[in-house]
Structure 1
Amino acid sequence: MSNSRLKLSFATSDYEHVRDVTMGTVEPEGIELVPITLQIEEMFYRFINFEEFDISEISSGKYTSMISQADDRFVGLPIFPSRVARQSSVYILPDGPIKKAEDLRGRRVGVPEWGQSASVYSRGWIEHDVGIPLTEIEWYQAGVNQPGRKEKVALNLPEGIVLNPEPEKSLSGMLLSGEIDAILTAHAPELVEKRDKRIVRLFPNYREVEKQYYRDTGIWPIMHLYAIRREVFEANPWVAQSMCKALTEAKNRSMERMLDITACRVPVGWIYDMAEESRDLFGDDFYPYGIEPNRTTLEAFLLYGYEQGLFHKHLKPEDMFPKEVQSEFKV
């Protein structure tokens, strides 16, 4: 039977809510998957630059920037394996000049890439909610912990935005030396991961700050999506819906496990209580896929990215995905 199925490579991070697909418990119809689990930055680098995988997780920021520039090598799916609120991603020195978000005005702020999805939302929050125009911040781009990181997509920066690439430096080193005043990054600085208090978060109580941000705006930031190489999609357009159905089923099974108080399914105490809290905040489907349940977030993301010069056109959510996955059948 397996010989009659289309064999495709599938690169992804090791998510609990995707694992039923990568382990073969849930099989996409008509597809024999070859799962490849990779570190995020490596996976994005290899997929965007070399197209090494048939289906891969990809940065929503980089993917959308590409399609806004008519680079259509990939076909996106409205399946969002990683979503993280981003007030938690602002890092500062404990004795530095920034004590509150408003102090970012007139300061020097580093990002690992202007095109990183996390920083799109962070900058959107700074401009639209904190009230600081991005032109009133001096921006720097470098790797978080290591020198040498570069932008992966072409930018169309608005007039007045200053972005200084620093290929020979790291953001963590620049923060410690006083060359910048804050970092916006998805991947926490290594010192923070090691609980070294020389670098700290702007919001120690970030969970409460981020929940209130969602209540106020309806925005729950989407970091990543899955995409198919266009050659694969055009030869087999049914693959898109098949993958969406399988990944949605895997996610639904994962949510059921998180709500099960009979046994702890992940090594986190009170995980079922956290899942119930998420259900209270986000609704019964507390990790939604698809366009319509995520329209508020997607529209904000597309506006922010366009305003910031990452997206070269102001797109609609429907522009991100093929018609085959923009709706689903009903019985």
Structure 2
Amino acid sequence: MTKKVELTLACGDYEIVRALREGQVKPDGIELTILTEMDSTTRHWRFLRNGEFDVAEVSLSSYIAARGRNLPFNAIPVFLHRRFRHGFIFVNSKSGIREPKDLIGRRVGVKNYLVTATLWLRGILESEYGVPHQSIDWFAELDEDVDFTPPAGLKLTRLPDEKSVETMLLDGEIDALLHPDLIDAIVEKDPRVGRLFPDYKQDEIAYYKRTGIFPIMHVMGIRPEIVERHPWVPINLFQALNEAKRLAMQRMENPRVVPLAWYREAWEEQIDILGDDPWAYGLGERNRHNLETVVGYAHQQGLIDREIPLEELFLDVGQGRKRGEKYRV
């Protein structure tokens, strides 16, 4: 039997990796053990702090910060998680915050400062709405995925273990919260909390039409010793992940697979607004703009001391001009 390279891959349990997880797609020459049970923050920590996995879906902002500190990680341009962010700024209903500029001078919580969702939100607030990130008093609950020293002028307080930013928002100890996920208070319709952008979907559509950006949240990290030992692995992994995504999108076109009454209409709306492949991998023009924007935010906000070129951040997964399955001879 031909011996394959055995690798661990930690990622979310997404439809776009289903074919890989179930074995319908097999990366050439690689035997994968796929781990999907961890929450995102745990996975990012275990990869970036402890190097526990050979390959892992990891926070884009933490990866950028790690590379800015010359930590030993690489990545391939695979983006399993994207999300528009306007709907994830939550405000205390008694804070008097009605528009973005009302955040200036306020106490605002984050789960951790480096998380990609809040990097995007701070950048969007500053570039689109005139809210400087240094004009806010920040309160962070969790340790960072990589060591981070706040730059001069940044007001950042680390909370003690017994404090939760979600509870602090409800109790009025902070005025607003930038969060990567929906918080319980919103799901449960607690009147003490609302959204800064109540009509967030329309704000997100307008943002996309204005900028062409569907924010990238995560990249696919890979330990450099794997690349040194097997330089062909990044390309073969990229191909397999791309094929798994293609099969997922093909399957998801069928409205019968999703128990939502108006699913097909939502699918068609996505195509109308975002185009045929808004989840594209690689460093095409739209993804370059997306990534260069967030690298610029990372530099502006003091996560890195220079704007790192994308060619440094990502391994080359090309096979040469007009080579590959499409051009096979």
Cα distance, 1:273 vs. partner? Answer: 2.1
TM-score (norm 2): 0.92
Cα distance, 1:153 vs. partner? Answer: 2.1
CA separation of 1:235 and 1:15: change in aligned 2, threshold 3 A: same
Q: Quick one: distance in 1 between partners of 2:321 and 2:80?
A: 19
Cα distance, 1:48 vs. partner? Answer: 1.6
Identity of aligned residues (%): 36
Q: Quick one: distance in 1 between partners of 2:59 and 2:170?
A: 28
Q: Quick one: distance in 2 between partners of 1:325 and 1:112?
A: 37
Letter in 2 for 1:150: D
Query: 1:138 and 2:132 equivalent?
Result: no
CA contact 1:110–1:141 (8 Å) conserved in 2: yes
Q: Quick one: distance in 2 between partners of 1:298 and 1:76?
A: 13
User: Hey, what does 2:288 align to over in structure 1?
Assistant: 295
User: Hey, what does 1:309 align to over in structure 2?
Assistant: 302
CA separation of 1:328 and 1:271: change in aligned 2, threshold 3 A: farther
Q: Quick one: distance in 1 between partners of 2:30 and 2:189?
A: 43
Q: Quick one: distance in 2 between partners of 1:276 and 1:106?
A: 42
Per-residue CA deviation, residues 254-307 of structure 1 (Å, 9 max, x unaligned), is 2222223xx422233322222222122222222111112301111110000110
Single out whichever of 267-276 and 121-130 deviates more from structure 2.
267-276
CA contact 1:291–1:326 (8 Å) conserved in 2: no
CA contact 1:318–1:326 (8 Å) conserved in 2: no
Per-residue CA deviation, residues 120-173 of structure 1 (Å, 9 max, x unaligned), is 11000111100111221111111xxxxxx2122233544322111113311112
Cα distance, 1:327 vs. partner? Answer: 6.9
Per-residue CA deviation, residues 70-111 of structure 1 (Å, 9 max, x unaligned), is 112x21010000000111110112332211222111211111
CA contact 1:258–1:271 (8 Å) conserved in 2: no
Q: Quick one: distance in 1 between partners of 2:106 and 2:320?
A: 45
Q: Quick one: distance in 1 between partners of 2:313 and 2:132?
A: 27
CA contact 2:82–2:215 (8 Å) conserved in 1: yes
CA contact 1:139–1:163 (8 Å) conserved in 2: yes
Per-residue CA deviation, residues 165-191 of structure 1 (Å, 9 max, x unaligned), is 113311112212222110001023233
TM-score (norm 1): 0.91
Query: 1:13 and 2:12 equivalent?
Result: yes
User: Hey, what does 2:181 align to over in structure 1?
Assistant: 187
User: Hey, what does 2:146 align to over in structure 1?
Assistant: 153
Q: Quick one: distance in 2 between partners of 1:236 and 1:211?
A: 42
Q: Quick one: distance in 2 between partners of 1:317 and 1:276?
A: 32
CA contact 1:83–1:220 (8 Å) conserved in 2: yes
- Aligned-partner SS, 2:139: strand
User: Hey, what does 2:100 align to over in structure 1?
Assistant: 101
- Aligned-partner SS, 1:17: helix
Q: Quick one: distance in 1 between partners of 2:157 and 2:176?
A: 14
CA separation of 1:98 and 1:56: change in aligned 2, threshold 3 A: same
Instruction: Specify every segment of 5 or more residues in structure 1 that has no aligned partner in the other structure, as ranges.
Output: 143-148
Cα distance, 1:325 vs. partner? Answer: 4.7
Superposed, which structure 2 residues align to 1:1-331 within 5 Å? 1=1, 4-37=3-36, 38-72=38-72, 74-142=73-141, 149-168=142-161, 169-260=163-254, 263-292=255-284, 293-325=286-318, 329-330=322-323, 331=327
Cα distance, 1:329 vs. partner? Answer: 4.6
Per-residue CA deviation, residues 217-237 of structure 1 (Å, 9 max, x unaligned), is 112111111111111121011
Letter in 2 for 1:256: Q
Cα distance, 1:34 vs. partner? Answer: 0.8
CA contact 1:258–1:272 (8 Å) conserved in 2: no
- Aligned-partner SS, 2:166: helix
Q: Quick one: distance in 2 between partners of 1:281 and 1:47?
A: 35
CA contact 1:78–1:325 (8 Å) conserved in 2: no
Single out whichever of 276-285 and 207-216 deviates more from structure 2.
276-285
Q: Quick one: distance in 2 between partners of 1:175 and 1:189?
A: 11
Letter in 2 for 1:136: S
CA contact 2:106–2:137 (8 Å) conserved in 1: yes
Letter in 1 for 2:242: T
Q: Quick one: distance in 1 between partners of 2:65 and 2:268?
A: 35
Single out whichever of 294-303 and 198-207 deviates more from structure 2.
198-207
Cα distance, 1:62 vs. partner? Answer: 0.5
